[in-house]
Amino acid sequence: MAVVDKQQVEPTVFERLFDRLSYRGHDGEGATHVGTASIGCHQFNTGSRPHASQPVSEGGIYVAFDGRIDNREQLLARLGQEPSKPRPDSRLVLDAYTKWGTEFPEQIRGPFATVLWDSNRRRSVAARDRTGIRHIYYAATDDLFVAGSEARAIAAHSSVADEPNRHLIREFLDSRLETAGESFYRDIARLEPGTVVTWDPDGLSVDRYWRPPYGCAPDANISDHGRQLEQLLRSAIGNRLEVVGNAAVMMSGGLDSTLIGSLVTEESARRETGRAEAFVVTFDGISAIDERTSASAVSTDGVSTTFLDGADIWPLKRDFRALVGTPCRDSSLELFDTVTAKARADGFEGVFTGVGGNLFDGNRLAYTDLLCEGHVADFVREAWRDDLSVLKAGLLYGLLPAATSQSVTLRELNYRDPPIGVDRDDERPPAARREPKTVSRALSFVNCSLRYQLTDPYMDFVSDSIRRIALANGTELFHPFLDSRIIAFLFRLGPGSRFHNGRHKRLVRQAARGIVPESVREQPVHANAYSSFLRRGIQEEASTLQAALSNGTLVEESYLEKDQLERLHAELPVPDGVESQERLWRAATTARWLDEF
């Protein structure tokens, strides 16, 4: 975290903000106060890599770094340093900034969030990794810059309005977050993945330093692409094993996490980094959740597995601690809480997941990304190479856009339900006002594109909450599918590599050949497991949701009309359809979150 003020930063002011992040620092904390700036870091060190007390400083430059550098050898070579001399990642970030200035994030591969203060240039810089695995929020005025890992810490500053972002809340209640770069606090921005923000005497600048590179991969058959994905996953897992040793895996029963579990087991043994253990939460009586079958299959295939009873787990079982900073509460948060707590108790500091594997599900509308970027020639070439018939293509792109329901989860677009929020776009600047949500807008290029899937604001908030839960339990999460090399590989492929003849996860299935049992590799993809788990949570906690909706905040603050709230009340205890569940769930979590103000 960093606080920079053109006048003076009182240490007590910084400490008030900094203390809100104390639960993250299992290996100590450090802070430096240098007149107009204060910078600090709560440290959680895993593995055997060299670590330095933070913030690190040299020549008037101060750096706080939360992350891991995966391309250390290449970076050391570019910096002209000897690989044989241990140098902590935080020091390498300082060296990179000294050499390349604000372009230093381009040189770093791996998950990270970092802030620095350059006292020589009176400049503060904050940067986030390419695929947004770590998080940074910031608030800026002409005289003040505050940046840190959590918006709620920044909101503790007296010059930052501790007020909700009204239009983003309404967007959330409309069931689709579309505005980039904002948080649920009015004055606090969310730094986008692959972005760097600079605050200096010239003002504030926000620059994108990385986007997934579009391009046409060399012609190759699906087997070749599958082998490439397998090798990239092994490399990504290897980078993470370097910093954790013993490795836990959260397996959900789906192909993504099961493949990760099998690969982590193999790579841990091959690299002799430590033991590996898969943790699986099992359920009885919840449809479409087949975690026990898949986990048992890979368990007999050599993956050591611990089964956890999910009978007492539902979305509101414990408390709303994950709602601090955002009303985005996914039903899976309690599962992450259960698994990470058990993993830490069993001696694991790192937990691997299959998060990000959904990007490989399949979506022919990824072609639209090429059109959005103006790559018309690439669009034509990729469409021509795809084995989709001309007739089907005509229906897909021209006559029946809804026919893409096979490859796009249209239920997430909520096109069948009207928005439940009260539209108050007049409160926003004209440039920020949204178009009305309609069927055509819901099926727009933005919402159905691969790029949107990667940068979906809602999932970004959820992933932040998931990591906060893991850190509170003393563990770090690792998401190999979100490695920037894998994302770059994915974006260079044609959509047909992900979806083929009605089969989801075509490429992941190919990569899993010979690694996971055939019964797991060929299992159908279930789309309603989330709905089943959420429905049980609503059944078990109907009274909690009822209380949240009854406090009047949503109507009093004009987020909902009275009749809209009454319709939501009528849907308790068990709403019909996943869209209704989503609307009820979001309204209840928003009401509960607003009570914090």
89 annotated to bind ligand: yes
Largest separation between any pair of C-alpha atoms in the chain = 68
Please identify which residue in the block is written with the tokens 């006048």: 7
The conformational region for residue 374 under phi > 0 = left, psi -120 to 50 = alpha, else beta, is left
Q: Tally the C-alpha atoms within 13 A of residue 279's C-alpha that lie toward its C-beta.
A: 25
Distance separating alpha carbons of residues 25 and 538, to the nearest angstrom? 34
Distance separating alpha carbons of residues 586 and 454, to the nearest angstrom? 21
Beta carbons of 540 and 517 less than 8 angstroms apart = no
Distance separating alpha carbons of residues 387 and 164, to the nearest angstrom? 48
Distance separating alpha carbons of residues 262 and 438, to the nearest angstrom? 43
The CA angle 390-395-398, to the nearest 5 degrees, is 105
Q: Kindly write down the DSSP assignment for every residue of 405-458, as one continuous string.
A: GGTS-GGGGTTTS---SPP-GGGS-GGGPPPPP-HHHHTSHHHHSHHHHHH-HH
Distance separating alpha carbons of residues 467 and 355, to the nearest angstrom? 12
Q: Is 21 helix (H, G, I), strand (E, B) or coil?
A: helix
φ, ψ for residue 542, nearest 5 deg: -60, -40
281 annotated to bind ligand: yes
Residues whose CB falls within 8 Å of the CB of residue 177, separated by 6 or more in sequence, listed in order: 168, 171, 456, 457, 458, 461
Residue type, 440: S
Taking residue 80's Cβ as centre, other Cβ atoms within 10 Å add up to: 8
Distance separating alpha carbons of residues 326 and 323, to the nearest angstrom? 5
Closest C-alpha to 232, from 543, 441, 487, 569: 487
Residues whose CB falls within 8 Å of the CB of residue 326, separated by 6 or more in sequence, listed in order: 151, 183, 184, 461, 464, 465, 593
Residue numbers in the known binding site for ATP are 281
Residue numbers in the known binding site are 89, 281
Residue numbers in the known binding site for L-glutamine are 89
